[in-house]
Amino acid sequence: MSTIATRIGLTAGAGGPEAENETLGATARLPLLLTLGALAALGQIGVIIIQAPVFVFWPQPTTVLGHFQQFQKNALLGLVDLDLLLVVGVVLSVLVVLGLYFALRRASPAWTVLALIFGLGGAAFFLAVNPTFSMLYLSNQYAAASSDAQRSAFVAAGEALTANYNGTAFGLYFVLSGLADLIFAVVMLQHRLFNRWTAYIGILLGAMLLVPPLPPFGSIPTTLSYVVVIPSAVWSLLVARGLFRMARQGVSATPASSA
């Protein structure tokens, strides 16, 4: 991806015909990158639409043993209740972050690189500690265990996974994602890129993500983590609209453009 970014940054006449051909090729790929980002943003809305009712009608178990039992009754529900769709959403967020980077980098190269690093870093932290499939494995091992000692060991392993998931890396995922959204939104606002409501919603969303829903922060961040799905869905919709527009134009935005 860094190679693509470098090629897009080349000027048409910097290195003769070969450099010009590389630049034209990279520019031709730009609409595809922007379209993928827009489609990923719409995909994030789909994740929210599916995930929210699941949490309402099938709340997450509050204990590791409860998760194990849920997996044995309905493995798919167990995966979804343990943030499988959030994993999908985070993977989609990588494409959205890349799309926003390529759309906005001409307006503010340094800040958009920083936002790209924050966005990708946050996604990496989350994916590194998410316990969805590990808990499924432990549930199956628990069900197959032949002694209380073995079952206790698998429950203890599950508790360790849960503690790790609700720790520093998960908090960094929220904070880094919030910083990325804030930077992208401020660039949009300062350089009149996208429309101002896209920027305002991005600033609101980014600010709400800066306080992660972890036990040391109390109940308010946990409440915000549910409320944040509203500005998140609106942000995704507006970002998708802007990226689709830029993809049709075939170029990344300049400070004079607006959506």
Tell me the whole-structure pTM to 2 decimals: 0.82
- Is 235 inside any structural domain? yes
- Is 103 inside any structural domain? yes
Do the Cβ atoms of 203 and 186 come closer than 8 Å?
yes
pLDDT at 28: 60
pLDDT at 250: 66
Q: Report the 3 state secondary structure along 197-251.
A: HHHHHHHHHHHHHCCCCCHHHCHHHHHHHHHCHHHHHHHHHHHHHHHHHHHHHCC
- Is 214 inside any structural domain? yes
Structure tokens at 83: 């943030």
Q: Which residues contact 69 (CB under 8 A, 6 or more apart)?
A: 61
pLDDT at 27: 59
Structure tokens at 20: 């010009």
Domain tally, the chain: 1
pLDDT at 251: 57
Give the structural domain span for 68. Answer: 32-249
How does pLDDT run along the chain (259 residues), one tens digit per residue?
A: 444 333 334 333 444 444 344 444 455 678 899 999 999 999 999 999 998 888 888 888 888 999 999 999 999 999 998 889 999 999 999 999 999 999 999 889 999 999 999 999 999 999 999 999 999 999 999 999 988 899 999 999 999 999 888 888 888 999 999 999 999 999 999 887 788 999 999 999 999 998 887 766 667 777 777 788 899 999 999 999 999 998 887 655 554 444 4
- Other C-beta atoms closer than 10 Å to the C-beta of 19 total 15
pLDDT at 15: 46
3-state helix, strand, coil split of the chain in percent (to 5) is 80, 0, 20
Q: Which residues contact 55 (CB under 8 A, 6 or more apart)?
A: 81
- Is 9 inside any structural domain? no
